[in-house]
Chain A
Amino acid sequence: MPAIETFALEKSYSIGFWRKRRVAGLKPLNLSVEAGEVFGYLGPNGAGKTTTLKLLMGLIFPSGGSARILGMEIADPRMKSLIGFLPEQPYFYDYLTAAELLEYYAQLSGVPGRERTRRVEQMLARVGMSQSARTQLRKLSKGMLQRVGIAQAILHDPKVVFLDEPMSGLDPLGRREVRDLIQTLKDEGKTVFFSTHILSDAEALCDRVAILHRGELRGVGAVDELTARTQSRIEILFHGLEGITLLSALGAECHATGETVQAIIAESRQDEALDALRRQGARLISLTPVRATLEDYFIERLGEKTGKVEVAR
């Protein structure tokens, strides 16, 4: 049974003075996330990632379609005790201390009284916040608040964890800690669904990713399978600045260091480029395939205007 399933889940908004114009925040989305996966939900700002998460959390209501988490409808309150959620730039009750906040959330999540204090202490230690447990949240830094946010999301040992831009606003050390935590959650057998626009994080962590743009799903699949479909490129290193003009005309990106030029060009134009350099008398140094990254695939999919969804099995 998939951990998360959406069936033509969509959300549109009425705008304008008379609320007659409809704008699609999320077009009908069909998605399936397997249990135990780390699933990256990618897209530029305004793509509809947070809208999707809010629909799954029941914070907003769909205009159409449905969704299930762990086999239960998203309106089912029993499902909520099995999931954890970290919103983007989380806001908490700043008059509470970290320990008080987690106690409160533990109570709301149905953690039994006897176990609550132990669980809170354990979570605070896990996210490195034991020293600041009695500090009011208004006095904590952004990074510390993010750690508290992650703690509240996993406090009640959920089966599925939803994280909305978990690395947002963190320094490199903070991002590393969050990445390690996501990996640990995966090792524990949890399903992690996280949205991000930092592709390197998704590439490093995710089993599969989905790409969303302007409310529409553009691609879904394992990272290496998706990038395999991206147009391959070649790196040509040569001597001779005269070659820059020739290769730029063929669509290459050229960078010169002294007399040495690095040109990145589509593999399909490799022969044309080599012929041009030969005619010019440029000295070829090396010819190397360039591995397509998720960023390449991402930009390629975003540039396409069709509603076609690419699925890599």
Chain B
Amino acid sequence: MNRISAVAFNTFREAVRDHVLYNLIFFALLLVGAALLFGQISIGIQRIVLVNLGLTAISVFGVVIAIFIGIGLVSKEMEKKTLYTILSRPVRRWEFIVGKFGGLAWTLVVNTLCMAIGFFAALLLLARHFERADSWLVVAIYFIILEFVVVTALALLFSTFSSPVLSAVMALALFVIGTFAEDLRAFAAMSHGATRVFATLAAYVVPNFASLNVISSVAHGQPIAASLILYNTVYSMFYAAAALCGAILVFEYRNLK
């Protein structure tokens, strides 16, 4: 556990010193500025627009960071040979993978929390007070964090066997397709024969990011069912764990250059 936490902390430290988290300052300032700009529109629409804009920005920023740091987590270490002095120590390969995952996930959680503070500050500036319905915003942010966990695990998996460019393309493609997972399932239900089989398989293999996207609902103050919170938590943990196991399996037998 000590070794895993050491790798995780070092990964977090690398992200911080690479100025990844400085984007949150930019984001926070952008939101506050946007909130002031919305003063021109009526109150009800202002809130909807700010929630949509704010949460979508948190999601997009985070996914971009998850992919572009995640794809290099292992491949960069192999290319730069920094792994030589790590794996010659009593660090098991799976500990290294789990530590890397933990470090980036931690980075994204910190990033998200800081951006969430900026978001809620902008909301407060706009509406002057919080409403009961604003509590569902916390659930939406939680779902965004779950989204990052899955994307990080996928990017890490690709990083163990693919080049950074290809890993980025695959991770981004899976994210986009996963956002339309519900539509894919609907298409599979309407299809026949081999198309139905392949479409169904694809619909269940790609991560269901559509289920994690409740931004539109919370923007209109709609509550989120407890069953959905439970389902998304279990699903995301299971999916991330599966991707992580894949990454460990690949890396366990990888010859380093």
Give the B-binding residues of A (Cβ under 8 A).
54, 57-61, 77-78, 80-81, 83-87, 90-93, 95-96, 104-105, 107-110, 149, 152, 162
Contact = CB atoms under 8 A, between A and B. Distances in A.
Interface string B1-20: 01100110010011001100
A308 to B, nearest CB: 30
B interface residue count range (under 10 / 10 to 19 / 20 to 34 / 35 or more): 20 to 34
A312 to B, nearest CB: 30
B17 A95 contact: yes
Nearest to B81: A91
A105 B90 CA distance: 10
Which residue of B81, B86, B89, B91 has the most chain A CB atoms within 10 A of its CB atom? B89
B186 interface: no
B84 A87 contact: yes
Given A95-B14, A107-B3, A54 B86 contact: no
Contacts, number: 75
A93 B10 contact: yes
A90 B89 contact: no
Nearest to B255: A60
Contact of A95 (B2, B3, B18, B84): B18
A54 to B, nearest CB: 7
B85 interface: yes
B87 A78 contact: no
B227 interface: no
Contacts of B83: 59
A58 B91 CA distance: 11
A108 B91 contact: yes
Interface string B71-83: 0000000001111
Interface of B: 2-3, 6-7, 10, 13-14, 17-18, 80-92, 253, 255-256
Given A90-B84, A92-B85, A95-B17, A60 B90 contact: no
Contact of A104 (B10, B87, B255): B10
Contact of B86 (A81, A84, A95, A108): A108
Given A59-B83, A95-B18, A149-B85, 17 more contacts: A54-B256, A57-B84, A57-B88, A59-B255, A80-B89, A90-B84, A91-B81, A91-B84, A92-B85, A93-B14, A104-B6, A105-B89, A107-B3, A107-B6, A108-B89, A110-B2, A110-B90
Nearest to B91: A108
A70 to B, nearest CB: 13
B89 A91 contact: no
Given A61-B255, A93-B14, A87 B85 contact: yes
Given A59-B84, A60-B255, A93-B82, A81 B89 contact: yes
Contacts of B86: 108
A59 B88 CA distance: 8
Contacts of A58: 87-88
Given A59-B84, A95-B17, A104-B10, A77 B90 contact: yes
A109 B6 CA distance: 11
B6 A108 contact: yes
Contacts of B82: 91-93
A64 to B, nearest CB: 14
A59 B86 CA distance: 10
A80 B255 contact: no
A54 B88 CA distance: 9
Contacts of A84: 88
Contacts of A80: 88-91
B47 to A, nearest CB: 41
B1 to A, nearest CB: 12
